Structure 1
Amino acid sequence: MKKSILLALLIVVVVTGWLLSGVWQSSDLHSVNQGTGSGASASAEQAEAVLPRVRVRSVESERVPQEIILLGTTEAKRKVRLRAQTVGVVKKVLVARGQSVRQGEVLVKLAADDRPARLRQAKALLDQRQTEFEAATSLSKKNLRSKIALSEARALLNAAKAGLESIRVDMDRTEIRAPFDGFVDQRFVELGDYMKVGEPIVTILDLSTIVVAGDVSEHNVSKIKPGLSGRAVLVDKRELEGKITYVARSSNASTRTFRVELEVPNPGHAVAEGITAKITLSVGETVAHRLSPAVLTLSDEGVMGIKVVNAENIVEFLSVTLVADTPEGTWLGGLPKELELISVGHEFVKQGQKVTTVRE
């Protein structure tokens, strides 16, 4: 009887111990699970803290005037170097460098030498030939002179006329005259110089209208047409407005650029030749983003662009094209309509890197 009671008590103790061991194990597992969860959360927060932080802002494109900007220089509308057309000694120099001249004004005179005598000789010969031809004509009408003799008299008369005209032209060439209103830019002769045919005498500039010439790239030349309005700003901040009058049809072999000319009025001849100018040509509208030049960066290949983040906060590099440069900022094209721009910290992150973003 006692053995049965003892056996029953032993069984109760064993079962109770087994049940209690299950509770403890569950409690331990719960504690372990709680500890593991806290560790994972802490690790995630630590990983988040390791990611580089960048400041971003949302940017949306706008429609802006599309402008082509060129560097150029001012040039005279007309420029001519006058050269000697006959030989002779410089007898008079009537102009100085920088002097304004009128069309037809005598600039330099060469010595006449024996030209007046040759002119009188040519006139006398012409009178003689004219008399001979009239006599031959009269005799020919009376059948007292052959047609051949009449033709010879006519030929001699024409030769005398040509000789007289030749000496007159040669005498006219001893006076070098201005071909148009302008300024004497250079003078190559002095009193007493002996001039040969083709030697330079003076250079005349026509500054009534100024041409601002520049070179446009092959990518933009198709956008520029004669008649297009433009603006030129000189280095001294003077502004000139005019129209395109010339676009080259052949490029420079060395630079692959095309010459364009902006013609502007020059009242009072205030603008000289050879001044540096910035030419701005408006060629329509385009979509662009106005950004600070500080956000621009270069890719590993040397391409200019900006850095943005996508929806997963991954850094992306976007190449850009310059649309316009204004005091308010730089207008950049070639970008999507909306983007998340990295405004601070872009120089410290790379394309494809995950970052933590902070909004401006």
Structure 2
Amino acid sequence: MKRLFQLTGLCAVLCYASCKSTEEKKEEPVKLLVTSAIKMDTTITKEYVCQIRSIRNIEVKAQEKGYLERIYVDEGQFVKKGQLLFKIMPTLYQAELEKADAEAQAAEIEVQNTQALADRNVVSKNELALAIAKAKKAKAELSLAKAHLAFTEIRAPFDGIVDQLHLKLGSLVEEGELLTSLSDNSQMWVYFNVSEPEYLNYQGSMKPKEKGKVQLLMANKEVFKHPGYVETIEAEFNNETGNIAFRASFPNREGLLRHGETGSILMKEQLKDAIIIPQKATMEIMDRKYVYVVDKNNVVKLTPVTIAAEMPDLYVIKEGVKENDKILLEGLRKVKNEEKIAFDYEEPAQVIAHLKLATE
């Protein structure tokens, strides 16, 4: 019995010691990691949705009515300037040309005969003038007939790529009917819209006659290998959107880009004295970003921030925190607003060194 009592007492002592050790561990404050907002010059990359257009893209239409006799090209084919694309059956226009040629020759003979009679004063000068006028009219009709016949052959006005063929061989073609489209893709024009503040920042950062360098992010999320340059800015802002259209030009030597593609323009912007914090120091509540600011008493305050720009792993802050404000870097879900914390401090430069930052 005595031995049982001793064992019971020993268990109680051990249990008490274990509980006391657990309580001591619980009482030890967990240290969280804190850093500061930093002010520095940096470069951000802004992304704008864009539309890609050929430097020249035209509709190829029939200039005469008739049956489509020949198609010399296929869809997607590259053609040279002056190359024959289509031929409309020329029988009718050939006959009109021959008729006009005959009438022009007859009118010329009439002029010669009238001239001989006028030289002998058999006919008046007015009759000679009338014969000459008729000859000129006949020549004009001959030229018109030649033009109509020439229009039965549709040729490429410039080097380019043939688009979809809208008619099949033997189709009856009406005057002005669309046959295909032709794109000159040697150079591409890329259009994108910029807000008024961004436009003012862009103009303020550019030297006179300097062209802004941009890159093109294609639909497959790869950056196009050749840089482009902003060449023109439209004259007026769109009152409905508050934007103005920019046009950048890209060389397309490999022919990768095609008319009608979409993508995004990447344009770099220099920021001076930007307030920067790590993205992981923020949390989102009801579509707003918040940080925990640590005050002089080591109490965390949940503070809303306004994001001015985004970089990989970093935010540029417009409002909410200032330079040297201490912010909670890790453990945001472990604390509550107005709670006092213990922390270890890490310099912002060291924090950023382990993150991605545009330094160009």
Q: Which of 194, 215, 232 is equivalent to 1:231?
A: 215
Q: Is 1:338 the counterpart of 2:352 in the alignment?
A: no
CA distance in 1, matches of 2:80, 2:162: 11
2:36–2:277 CA contact under 8 A, matched in 1: no
CA displacement, residues 180-209 of structure 1 (integer Å, 9 cap, x when unaligned): 111112110111100101211011121111
Moved more, 189-198 or 212-221: 212-221
CA distance in 2, matches of 1:171, 1:100: 26
Q: Does 1:79 pair with 2:57?
A: yes
Normalised TM-score (structure 2)? 0.73
Report deviation, 1:244: 1.1
**1:226-305 equivalences in 2 (<5 Å):** 227-234=211-218, 235-239=220-224, 240-251=226-237, 255-297=241-283, 302-304=287-289
1:63 to 41, 45, 53: 41
Alignment of 1:181-200 (within 5 A): 181-200=159-178
Moved over 6 A (4+): none
1:128–1:223 distance in 2 versus 1, CA, 3 Å: farther
Q: Cα RMSD between the aligned structures?
A: 3.2
Deviation at 1:124, TM superposition (A): 1.4
Is contact 1:322–1:330 with CA below 8 Å preserved after alignment?
no
Q: Is the 8 A contact 2:32 2:342 kept in 1?
A: yes
Higher alpha-carbon deviation: 55-64 or 166-175: 55-64
Query: Residue type matched to 1:126 in 2?
Result: A
* 1:116 matched residue in structure 2: 94
* Residue aligned with 1:320, SS: strand
Which stretch has the larger CA shift, 181-190 or 317-326? 317-326
Q: Where does residue 173 of structure 1 map in the other structure?
A: 151
8 Å Cα contact 1:56-1:357 kept in structure 2: no
Q: Determine helix, strand or coil for the equivalent of 1:61.
A: strand
Q: Which has the larger radius of gyration?
A: 1
SS at match of 2:254: helix
| Residue of structure 1 aligned with 2:187, choices 196, 200, 209 | 209
Instruction: Give the secondary-structure state (helix, strand or coil) at the position aligned to 2:139.
Output: helix
Show the counterpart of 2:343: 358
Does structure 1 residue 95 correspond to structure 2 residue 79? no
Q: Which runs of 5+ in 1 are unaligned?
A: 1-48
Q: Distance in 2 between matches of 1:140 and 1:284?
A: 86
Q: Kindly provide the amino acid, as one letter, of the partner of residue 69 in structure 2.
A: K
Q: 1:238 to 1:67 in 2, by over 3 A?
A: closer
> Aligned pair 1:308/2:293, yes or no?
yes
Q: Secondary structure of 2:75's partner?
A: coil
- Select 2:196's aligned residue among 218, 222, 227: 218
Name the CA shift for 1:318/1:218 in 2 (closer, same or farther; >3 Å): same
Greater Cα shift, 111-120 or 146-155: 146-155
Q: Give identity over the alignment, percent.
A: 21
> TM-score by structure 1 length?
0.73
Instruction: Give the AA of the match of 1:332.
Output: V
The CA deviation at 1:281 is 1.5
Tell me the equivalent position of 1:19.
none
Q: Contact 2:41 / 2:270 at 8 angstroms: preserved in 1?
A: no
Question: What SS does structure 1 have at the residue aligned with 2:222?
Answer: coil
Secondary structure of the residue that 2:197 maps to in structure 1?
coil
Tell me the equivalent position of 1:4: none
CA displacement, residues 127-162 of structure 1 (integer Å, 9 cap, x when unaligned): 222233344455556655444334422332222122
Gaps of 5+ in 2: 1-26, 204-209, 346-360
Alignment of 1:14-33 (within 5 A): none
Using the alignment, how far apart are the partners of 1:294 and 1:54 within structure 2?
A: 14
> Separation in 1 of the partners of 2:274 and 2:305?
13
